[in-house]
């Protein structure tokens, strides 16, 4: 599953630079997670890095993007291949 940021976000900016997939960006009012880029940090870290740093604990799982560990790993490989092709 991808993660999502709720409206409890206080725009503290600390999660954005921690995301290895560049999935977090400022939205219209609060920070947002691009569900197509979020792998729950699978492939990079053991635990979601954004959750580790969020001071208000406002990053739950996104129920609209149900994915297994295998699917998240496949997503990680897809994102990594894309990065290699661009650079």
Q: Return the number of the residue (38 or 67) whose C-beta is nearest ligand SF4.
A: 38
Kindly report the number of other CB atoms within 10 A of residue 43's CB atom: 16
Contact (Cβ atoms closer than 8 angstroms) between residue 31 and residue 16: yes
Q: E-assigned strands of the chain? A: 24-26, 31-33
CB of 36 to ligand SF4, least distance (A): 11
Q: Return the number of the residue (26 or 85) whose C-beta is nearest ligand SF4.
A: 26
Binding footprint of ligand SF4 on the chain (CB under 6 A): 3, 5, 9-15, 18-19, 21, 23-24, 31, 33, 38-41, 48-50, 53-54, 56, 58-59
Contact (Cβ atoms closer than 8 angstroms) between residue 73 and residue 42: yes
Q: Return the number of the residue (46 or 84) whose C-beta is nearest ligand SF4.
A: 46
């Amino acid at each position: 599953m991808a993660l999502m940021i709720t409206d409890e976000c206080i725009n503290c900016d600390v999660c954005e630079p921690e995301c290895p997939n560049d999935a977090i960006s400022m939205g219209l009012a609060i920070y947002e997670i691009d569900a197509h880029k979020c792998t729950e940090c699978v492939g990079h870290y053991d635990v979601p890095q954004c959750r580790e740093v969020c001071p208000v604990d406002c990053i739950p799982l996104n129920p609209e993007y149900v994915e297994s560990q295998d699917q998240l790993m496949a997503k990680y490989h897809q994102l990594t291949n894309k990065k290699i092709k661009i650079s």
